[in-house]
Structure 1
Amino acid sequence: MKEFLYLIRGGQEKYEKNSPDEMQKHMEHWQEWMGGLAQAGQLVGGQPLMTEGKTLSEGGAKIIDRPLAEGKELVGGYLLIKADSLDHASEIAKGCPSFEYGCTVEVREISPM
């Protein structure tokens, strides 16, 4: 199996408007989905990301105190998964719970070194 990275962007603005009960249900959906990936031997790892960040450019000479993307484009988290192909990884990504909040998921194969 190959490894793939899911970059999960957006959805925070809708999610943050939820009640505590709605947030809990969403977290349960995430736990179920990731639990299923783990049981299938497809989950390598993943975490949500904090909104603070720094973007470095020009060989590190220029530092911006924010992630490069703005607002709804912010990467909110990532997952590493195993799949047979890009199409297979894309099919698995369709189960991402954050689609409920308008996120996007970029699926990228990790190149072997």
Structure 2
Amino acid sequence: MNYEALRAVFRRANALLGTNWSMHDLRHTAALRMARDKRLSLRDVQTILGHAHLSTTADIYLVEDEEQVIARVQEYLADVKERAALPPASPATGYEASDLDVLFGGERG
């Protein structure tokens, strides 16, 4: 299907559905889905879209769902709290506890 034929399909579908979709909308939706997929890097998405600069891809397609951001931050904070409650690990063989205290700023068990 060539460009003009696809535009005609969109015109007919938009007239029937009362929408205003375009081929660019499909590209944008595909790019958003790729950017959110953990299996693809942002550099992969940049290459697929043909953007010259990574910042173009990032500025347009790194749109985060606010609820997901809040959930990730809550999970992170819960992990931090859980780790803080754990007793410090014993130093591995060959390390002096006093050296680690100086390095990490505290007393180790």
Bin for the TM-score computed over the shorter chain: under 0.3
TM-score, L = length of structure 2:
0.25
Larger fraction in helix: 2
TM-score, L = length of structure 1:
0.24
Larger fraction in strand: 1
Max radius of gyration: which structure?
Answer: 2
Work out which structure has the larger RCO, using CA pairs closer than 8 Å and 6 or more positions apart in sequence: 1
